[in-house]
Amino acid sequence: MSMRDDQAAASGSATNASGGQRDTAQSRAYSAGGQSDPETRTKPSEPPENLAEMLPAIRLRQSQLSVGVDRDKAALAGQQIRQQTGKRQLTDLERAVGELEKARAESAAAVRDTDQAVEAAQPLIKQLGDDIKTNLKEKVKNIDAAIRDKRSKVDSEWKELDERQTKRDEQRLVQTRKQSAYDDASARLVGLPEAIRKLTGRLKSRRPELVAATTAGDARKACVIAADIQSAVTELDRLRGPGCETELVKAVHAAATALETANGDLAKAENAVGETQAQVAASAADQAALEGSRAGDLQKLHEAPPDAAPQGTATDPEAQGA
């Protein structure tokens, strides 16, 4: 029987012993440290040689499982929030489709009416000096330019957030695969005692059958049973030997190391998403503040500063002569 066959048998034995279900806490114990902060999490040391040497690390990671559970809960909550947000956005877009043409028509009528009002105001506006008109127009442009710049920044940060969320989601898939590989390796190691017991039971059950066949003089049956027993003994000797345990322990250690790396990369990706979300929120708040203050900023431009000359004075020759 090959090593792969032994691993499959050990895994199956562990499943049968637990009623077809893995002990989730046990199988994930070795990975719990990877769910903590990437700067402080415990990293696997040199590969242990046997299960007894591995137990301290497993106990440590078991005590840290709550950290990973809390992080998974927070991630799920975030996904649920984004799902609800997506539903609202879809509703808004569907409504916008019907309102777009109506809004275009209303805006066209408003532009025509506004053009007429601007034309009617031109004789009054011309009473202002050229420098005053230029200054006022420039300040209005600056107010709108500040809003546009902030809106552009928000759009850019949203794009960066999308990219980081995509990278985070990809890293989640990698972490899931590494977690599965660790769980499989751990299950094979945990199932080793049961695999030994299963083969031992097979020997115990076949021995009286061999004795009976020998007593009955059934050579063919005795030959088959003896060959089956020898196969079980050979495999049992291998499973009982320290080499098998060491190999399985090293497989778990390698899977745990890979999982540690994946957990660290995922933590960094999660942190990057969180930082960008905070940036987007801050920039969006700044944009809203600028848009909210626009009317007040324009209102301030209506009022002439206290030391300003009366309208028309700067360009009125008679007033200058007087």
Per-residue pLDDT of the chain (322 residues; tens, 9 = 90+): 443 444 444 444 444 434 443 343 343 433 333 344 444 444 445 677 776 777 777 766 776 677 677 777 777 887 888 888 888 888 888 788 778 878 888 888 888 888 888 888 888 888 888 898 899 999 999 999 999 999 999 999 999 999 999 999 999 999 999 999 999 999 999 899 999 999 999 999 999 999 999 999 999 999 999 999 999 999 999 999 989 999 999 999 999 999 999 999 999 999 999 999 999 999 999 999 999 999 999 988 887 665 444 444 444 434 333 3
CATH no. of 131-303: 1.10.287.2610
**pTM score, whole prediction:** 0.53
The separation between CA 164 and the C-alpha centre of its own chain, rounded to angstroms, equals: 9
* Rounded CA separation 203/240 (Å): 14
Listed in sequence order, the residues at least 6 apart from 252 whose beta carbon sits closer than 8 Å to its beta carbon are 30, 54, 182, 185, 186, 189
Select from 262, 58, 235, 287 the least CA-distant residue to 180. 262
Structure tokens at 83: 């799902």
217-239 CB burial, b ≥16 within 10 A, e <16 = eeeeebeebeeebeebeebbeeb
The 8-class DSSP code of residue 64 comes to: T
* Rounded CA separation 86/79 (Å): 10
* Rounded CA separation 222/218 (Å): 6
Indicate the residue type of 163: E
Indicate the residue type of 203: L
| Residues across the chain | 322
Query: What residue ranges do the domains of the chain occupy?
Result: 78-127, 131-303
The 8-class DSSP code of residue 32 comes to: G
State the CB neighbour count (10 A cutoff) for residue 318.
6
